[in-house]
């Protein structure tokens, strides 16, 4: 059962499409954030309810400078690498919980708002998306690091081609008349240019040669309540990541494999399946493994049990 605090989530779609009943937004490669104010200070929370405010003090300050004092808005926190939103770059802020240290990283962050759930004492979740987006546009001045997420009407195929040419992750297609539901809904659809997937880390292989801490991550996804093995990931790590992630894995180490399937490496160490990572890859193999995977970073905004294999709909 969906919780009233959960944000609305999109399903993975198939081919891009055009439809006057839909609007299309850029898919941002960051972390989801709910901005909330009830007459006092602003709070930012993840989609799992974690307090993000200490990690992004400049976003809190920008929202508190707005005249609005009663709102709940939905958005995405991002960092940029050139013109592209970069989940890997955002990692430099995600792990820091001290506001002063977060600022000292020198990594600029932005909050792109795309929906308004409550404003000035009124619940807006039952209103059509177009109406909510219009209310959002009027509710904030969108100064500094707080941005409005623009959209295109109807022409999704043309916008998708443009998005992929620009190197974006993809688009989010949304039914213009859809209400806001606290669950995953077919009224919002992800149209991806790139191949990325959230996966659970269930183990690791020993380091070899000059590498320290671990060799490769052993990752998987849930299906019918079981963790299915999706392969090894041995690239995408710098020395700091190897040390930090290695320490986390050692703290979670267990004697038995959490994976349900065979085909696991003969030499491996196992971990409680609690950490969720973001991974890029070229394709899925016929036996359900990742081809050419690379580690992008940890996700703290998604429970491990929610991680499933994303399959494009026809």
Q: Looking at the annotation, which residues are catalytic?
A: 27
CA 213 to chain centre: 26
222: alpha, beta or left? (left if phi > 0; alpha if psi -120 to 50): beta
Write the CB contacts of 251 (distance below 8 Å, at least 6 apart in sequence).
none
H-run or E-run covering 258: none
DSSP 33: E
Nearest-5° Cα angle at 56, 50 to 58: 145
Tokens at residue 88, please? 């890997």
List CB contacts of 25: < 8 A, sequence separation 6 or more. Answer: 114, 149, 150, 151, 152, 171, 172, 174
CB 180 within 8 A of CB 132: yes
Task: Yes or no: say if 54 and 102 are a contact pair by the CB < 8 Å rule.
Answer: yes
φ/ψ of 103, rounded to 5, equals -65, -35
């Amino acid at each position: 059962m969906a919780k009233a605090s959960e944000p609305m989530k999109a399903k993975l779609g198939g081919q891009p499409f055009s439809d006057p009943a839909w609007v299309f937004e850029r898919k941002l490669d960051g972390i989801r954030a709910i901005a909330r104010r009830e007459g006092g200070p602003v709070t930012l929370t993840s989609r799992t309810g974690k307090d993000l405010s200490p990690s992004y003090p400049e976003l809190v300050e920008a929202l508190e400078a707005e005249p609005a004092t009663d709102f709940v808005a939905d958005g995405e926190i991002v960092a940029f690498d050139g013109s592209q939103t970069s989940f890997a770059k955002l990692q430099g802020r995600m792990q820091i919980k001290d506001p002063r240290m977060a600022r000292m990283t020198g990594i600029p962050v932005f909050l792109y708002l795309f929906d308004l759930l409550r404003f000035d004492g009124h619940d807006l979740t039952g209103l059509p998306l177009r109406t909510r987006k219009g209310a959002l546009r009027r509710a904030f001045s969108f100064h500094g690091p707080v941005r409005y997420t623009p959209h295109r009407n109807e022409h999704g195929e043309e916008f998708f081609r443009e998005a992929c040419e620009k190197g974006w992750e993809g688009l989010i297609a949304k039914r213009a008349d859809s209400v806001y539901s606290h669950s995953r809904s077919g009224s919002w659809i992800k149209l991806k240019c790139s191949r990325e997937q959230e996966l659970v880390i269930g183990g690791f292989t020993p380091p070899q040669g000059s590498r320290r801490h671990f060799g490769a991550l052993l990752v998987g996804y849930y299906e019918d309540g079981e963790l299915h093995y999706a392969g090894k990931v041995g690239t995408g790590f710098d020395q700091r990541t190897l040390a930090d992630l290695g320490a986390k894995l050692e703290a979670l180490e267990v004697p038995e494999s959490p994976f349900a399937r065979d085909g696991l490496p003969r030499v491996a160490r196992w971990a409680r399946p609690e950490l969720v990572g973001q991974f890029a890859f070229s394709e899925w193999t016929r036996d359900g493994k990742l081809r050419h995977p690379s580690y992008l970073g940890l996700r703290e905004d998604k429970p491990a049990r929610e991680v499933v294999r994303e399959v494009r709909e026809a």
